[in-house]
Amino acid sequence: MLKLQQIINNHILSIIWLLLFIMPNNTAFYIFVPLSFMLLYQFKDKVKINIAPLLIVIISCLVLSFMINSGQNYILNKDYLRLISIVIFIITFAKLRGDKILKLYIWIAAIFVIITQFAFFLKLTSIANIIEKYYVINEYAETTFSRFETFQIEEFGINRLGGIYFNPNQCARYLELILITFLCEIKQFKKKELAILLPLIVFSIIATGSRTAFLVLFVIYFAYLYLKKELTKKNVFRIGLVSIIIIIIYLLSNYNISEYRMLKIDEGMGNSFGIKVGLLIEYLTVNNSIIALCFGNLSPEILTVKYKMLVPGTDFDIGDIFVIYGVVFFILFIGLCGVVYKRMANQYRCFFVILLWMFSSSIICNYRTAPIFFLMMGLYYRRSLIENSH
């Protein structure tokens, strides 16, 4: 009976993990996120996570931020919902039902994202219609959607493919979260499955043209290799390395690789990252409130409403955490990650490479990425505690 219940829990956990990736970004999704964690929460859990005091301090910090900023004219409903969701993520941390993401759902997530990237090029009309009906929700997405209709293979690596997320950087981030889940659950996969799925994910990440993804991908590769102290039992990295070499040779022999946006790392550091850091520095310069610096403003909209800056938010997590939740929360969050990393089993520690995205995009301040991050970190932390106790 207990074994059957665990199987059911694993399916429920895996379905929710999958839906966090593929649900359209609408009102239903905003409601689904906190409710899904409440559904998964185990009120009576025999596993002692041993970090309750730290979690209580983090929740107290968030509640204090709410009390300080509640009612301000620049705070939107979604800001309150984001705060409530993060509090729920912390309360339920490492106490969710299920102990693994099943490989079926990893396959579905990867294939779904990859197919939506190439739906227009492959003339998959039915999928393109689904994207147009359910995923196009704003003018930016509409513009991006239209561009894909004329995409040619010669533009691969120059023009960028974002699939259902439209923003290629976001697409790359989610693909790498799927990749990390795949690596953490690698024992479920057969050799033939590794030889198919790994190259597909890598190829799809390359198609986004994301500079950050290019760097994070290699860090994931070497971090996993280092932490496992071997190529893995099923030679996944040998297969992956050969696949990457084949892809690179093919691209070098057919296209002008110098035009690939992914490889223009210096340009990205000078333009994209420099602008984001500049916005953060500007905020720190004009903000003369110690309380706001410590506990944040609860909303990135303060930059345009109060400080008359051109954009709401800094467009990267480190800056946005300072603006929204403050320095105290940032320190506590890094502390939580450090404690969990120290106690997590080696084979799952490559998960933390995803935090590199905080320098380019959002993890904690993104409504879709944050629940995926906390679900995965809590899952592999809890599993590590169980495995270490045996």
Count the domains in the chain: 2
| pLDDT given for residue 2 in this prediction | 67
Let me know whether 113 and 214 are in one domain: yes
114/161 Cα distance (integer angstroms) = 10
Say if residue 83 is in the same domain as residue 7: yes
Give the Cβ contact number of residue 295 at 10 Å: 22
CA atoms of 51 and 265, how far apart (whole Å): 38
| Token reading at 212 | 């950050």
CB distance 13 to 364 below 8 Å: no
Instruction: Provide the pLDDT for residue 270.
Output: 45
- Sign of CA pseudo-dihedral 337, 339, 342, 348: negative
- Point out the least confidently predicted range of 44-53, 227-236, 286-295, 350-359: 227-236
Q: Are residues 168 and 250 in the same domain?
A: yes
Listed range (152-166, 181-195, 359-373) with the worst mean pLDDT:
152-166
State the chain's mean pLDDT as an integer: 85
- Residue span of the structural domain in which 214 resides: 103-263
CB atoms within 10 A of CB 120: 20
Average confidence (pLDDT) over 334-360: 95
Kindly state the DSSP code that residue 156 receives in the 8-state scheme: B
Confidence of residue 250 (pLDDT cuts 50, 70, 90): very low
**Claim to verify: residue 200 and residue 236 sit in the same structural domain:** yes
Stretch 156-174: mean pLDDT, rounded? 80
Q: How far apart, in Å, are the Cα atoms of 367 and each of 21, 84, 137?
A: 11, 11, 16
Could you tell me if 153 and 215 lie in one domain? Answer: yes
Q: What is the mean pLDDT of residues 111-127?
A: 86
Residue 379 has a CB neighbour count (10 Å cut-off) of: 23
- Does 152 share its domain with 256? yes
pTM of the entire predicted model = 0.88
Q: Is residue 288 part of a domain?
A: no
Residue 275 domain-assigned (yes or no): no
Each residue of 46-104: pLDDT tens digit?
A: 788 889 999 999 999 999 999 999 989 999 999 999 999 999 999 999 999 999 999 99
The reported pLDDT for the residue numbered 210 is: 84
Q: Which of 40-44, 62-66, 204-208 has the highest mean pLDDT?
A: 62-66
Q: Do 197 and 81 reside in the same domain of the chain?
A: no
Residues 231 and 251 in one domain: yes
Q: Identify the domain boundary among 263, 279, 312.
A: 263
Average pLDDT over residues 154-182: 82
What pLDDT digit, counting tens, does each position of 302-312 carry?
Answer: 999 988 888 88
Mark whether 157 and 175 lie in a shared domain: yes
Tokens matching residue 188: 């479920």
Mean per-residue pLDDT for 239-253?
54
In a domain, 22, yes or no: yes
Q: What is the pLDDT of residues 174-203, one digit of tens each?
A: 999 999 999 999 999 998 999 899 989 988
